[in-house]
Structure 1
Amino acid sequence: MAESFFSPCPRGLETVLADELRALGARAADVVPGGVSWQGDWAACYRANLESRIATRVMWRIAGGRYRSEEDIYRIAYAPTWAKWFTPEDTIRIYVTARRSPLKSLEFITLRVKDAVCDHFRTVAGRRPSVDTANPAIRIHAFLSADTVTLYLDTSGEPLYKRGFKPQAVEAPLKENLAAGILRLTGWQPGETLVDPMCGSGTFLIEAAQIALDIAPGLGRRFGFEQFRHFEHASWAAVKRAAEGRRQPPRPLPIHGSDIVGEWLRRARLNLESAGLARCVTLERADLLEREPPAAEGVMVANPPYGVRLGEEEELAAFYPRLGDALKRRWGGWRCYFFSGDPALPKLIGLKASRRTPLFNGALECRLLEYRMVAGSNRPRREAQDGGAPPAA
């Protein structure tokens, strides 16, 4: 029997996610702003949680209706048979998001949804679940449009970009699912040389290595659906067994990372070790402006720093023209991609982007800029036989 699901993702990656979900068995995948609605059985739900590299969550649609007031939302939230899916012993948390809703207080709506769920359990079981905002067993999402509310049970638990292995508790510049989506947009394929010359904590490197070895991103973690009373253990075991059977053992890959900051390189190395991928990636401390490419052609992908402190904007304004010069001088034959929220980068780099893809890093509007460096076209020509100097590049 087909169930209805919704998978949010970083904005700008909706079409890429739809293609990925279809490949994982989703049916009727429909792109909407911020994600993809789709249908499938529970095996497809389990597979999407385990193998999607781009989805943030997989949410199961359980109810919905039209509303005019908070009391309408209470009535809609009271109606589902919550006790079929979890017990009063399971802790809960309610999440509410809204777009163009006339209701003013999301906090009050959250309270009314919580009251409805708890009142339902008091009626059918004589006791109610407790709220746990830190580590709930069950996550319930309510989405409000201008006049409708839709309720979902979260089948993922922790967001899917939490792959379950990074030990370095630092706020990464971009989430793992955004990095995976950017890799997809570059057209990089396993076996093709990949370089991240500003690798930071190694997010692009880890995602690329997992793709190259066909390692499902969720193999190291647990999921919210494992808490459901109707959890299909045998179906989940089969999905997980199939993914584990495709997983390739670690081996050296043509994936390279570098950074000018030694501390970030140390973090990248620790994160690769935690993921069991240390031998797959070559790391070195290097300045992008000076380093040489590891192959005649390939894909470069980087998330350059974005100036937020006093003085950084001036430093970056001086850096971008030098970056463009380094690409012309050394990286002929490469497809180079820069993900940035800094509008100064495309203006100052001195190169014409062949493609600009709008993406969002959280609430920050960014661009993925593609520069195709034609081999030989920007290299100084040999001096003429009369001894004259070559023309400037």
Structure 2
Amino acid sequence: MSAAFEIFLQGTPGLEEALAEEARATGFAKAEAVPGGATLQGQWTTVWRANLKLRGAGAVLARIGGFPASHLSQLDKRSRAFPWGDVLRPGVPVKVEMSTSAKSKIYHAGAAQERIERALSESFGATIDPEATVVLKTRIQRDYVQFSVDTSGESLHKRGHKPAVGKAPMRETLAALFLRQAGFTGEEPVLDPMCGSGTFLIEAGEMAAGLWPGRDRRFAFEDLATFKPDLYARIRSEAPQPRPLEELPGLFGSDRNAGAIEMAGRNAEAAGLGGAVTLAHRAVSDLERPAGPPGLVIVNPPYGARIGDRKQLFSLYGRLGAVLKERFGGWRAAIVTSDGGLARATGLPILPPGPPVAHGGLTVKLYQTAALR
């Protein structure tokens, strides 16, 4: 349990640095951004904490070891000698996922996967199941075989307390990192005028309350040989007492779709934030400035490549910008869109956008403003 190994935090391409910053701020001091996520060194207790506490990671992978192999017979032999029992639990089914590099002599992923599955089955007694919760991710690059275990199971954006999902939803992990990019610290009000199922509001509320995102769900690491239930229970007991709802900054959401407002309300209640989120069924044109100090308006509006005709969306973005300029002096705005032309159609003083981010088969950016005048 004390030996250190590499841990890979799988992230959204384009937001690797934001994920590494979150990890460092959460206590994983030496996290470093790498393509596709962030890495750090730690023990199995580090893995458990990362799954429980990180908002921006989609999965936590434990690098459990590897060996050089330049042909299939060598891969077979060394896979049979690998100490699977140090990590995998006998009797727990395993799924093998395989990727190979053109820079390796073993280039046929299917053949390599077959050898590893056979080795697991015959030398360790593992049951190979394509639906298994425990996933062994195998990568062969430059004739080196690297084994990693996905310790999360279901993607970490599935917090375990969101019963309702609308159309074109934004993943919670992505919303959390966009909030971080927008400078949200949990101390200012947040308003989403096209809130859908409420993802931005709920992530902001949980961040402000100090709630751990993994508090309500199970993880694949609970099926590994390295899992110690009593020690894990003690780690879960470290969770801070959540900030009382009445002390949270305002969380305001509206949408022209009544069904979306109903979903957002149900999701806020399920997350334990029902008393902190204020929702209204209204169009952007009817948006009202909440009483109190200025804060952050963050929104994931429709964009032409995703919903509707691009030309018809210019008026929507224009109305949004006009309302914000007229009624939201002192507030900052953050807009997620795949179309810089639409962002500029708001007429807001847009700052240079953030990096391109993969989202729903598209590439989006976060367009922000300073405090509006």
TM superposition score normalised by structure 2: 0.89
Match status 1:115 vs 2:110: no
Asked whether the equivalents of residues 65 and 76 of structure 1 are also in contact (C-alpha less than 8 Å), the reply is yes
Change (3 A) 1:50 1:309: closer
CA distance in 1, matches of 2:330, 2:26: 34
Q: Which of 107, 126, 129 is equivalent to 1:131?
A: 129
Match status 1:4 vs 2:6: yes
Q: Tell me which residue corresponds to 1:246.
A: 241
CA distance in 1, matches of 2:102, 2:52: 33
Which range moves more in the overlay, 257-266 or 56-65? 56-65
CA distance in 1, matches of 2:73, 2:192: 52
Q: Which of 313, 323, 334 is equivalent to 2:331?
A: 334
Shift of 1:347: 4.2
CA distance in 2, matches of 1:109, 1:203: 40
CA distance in 1, matches of 2:74, 2:171: 36
Q: Which of 365, 369, 373 is equivalent to 2:367?
A: 369
Asked whether the equivalents of residues 253 and 279 of structure 2 are also in contact (C-alpha less than 8 Å), the reply is yes
CA distance in 2, matches of 1:216, 1:310: 33
Match status 1:50 vs 2:46: no
Shift of 1:263: 1.0
Aligned positions, number: 367
Shift of 1:107: 4.3
Counterpart AA for 1:229: A
Q: Tell me which residue corresponds to 2:265.
A: 269
Q: Which of 219, 229, 245 is equivalent to 1:223?
A: 219
Counterpart AA for 1:9: G
Shift of 1:309: 7.0
Counterpart AA for 1:63: G
Match status 1:183 vs 2:179: yes
CA distance in 2, matches of 1:161, 1:310: 23
Q: Tell me which residue corresponds to 1:389.
A: none
Shift of 1:169: 5.1
Which range moves more in the overlay, 294-303 or 254-263? 294-303
SS of alignment partner, residue 184 of structure 2: coil
Shift of 1:157: 1.6
Q: Tell me which residue corresponds to 2:28.
A: 26
CA distance in 2, matches of 1:99, 1:305: 38
The 5-angstrom pairing of residues 288-299 of structure 1 reads: 288-295=284-291, 297-299=294-296
Q: Tell me which residue corresponds to 1:255.
A: 251
Consecutive unaligned residues in structure 1, runs of 5 or more: 122-126, 376-393
CA distance in 2, matches of 1:158, 1:139: 10
Asked whether the equivalents of residues 13 and 181 of structure 1 are also in contact (C-alpha less than 8 Å), the reply is yes
Asked whether the equivalents of residues 351 and 370 of structure 2 are also in contact (C-alpha less than 8 Å), the reply is yes
Counterpart AA for 1:31: A
Cα shift readout 1:268-300 (whole Å, capped 9, x = no counterpart)? 111112212111110011212331221452101
CA distance in 1, matches of 2:119, 2:335: 47
Q: Tell me which residue corresponds to 1:316.
A: 313
Counterpart AA for 1:361: H
TM superposition score normalised by structure 1: 0.85
Counterpart AA for 1:246: Q
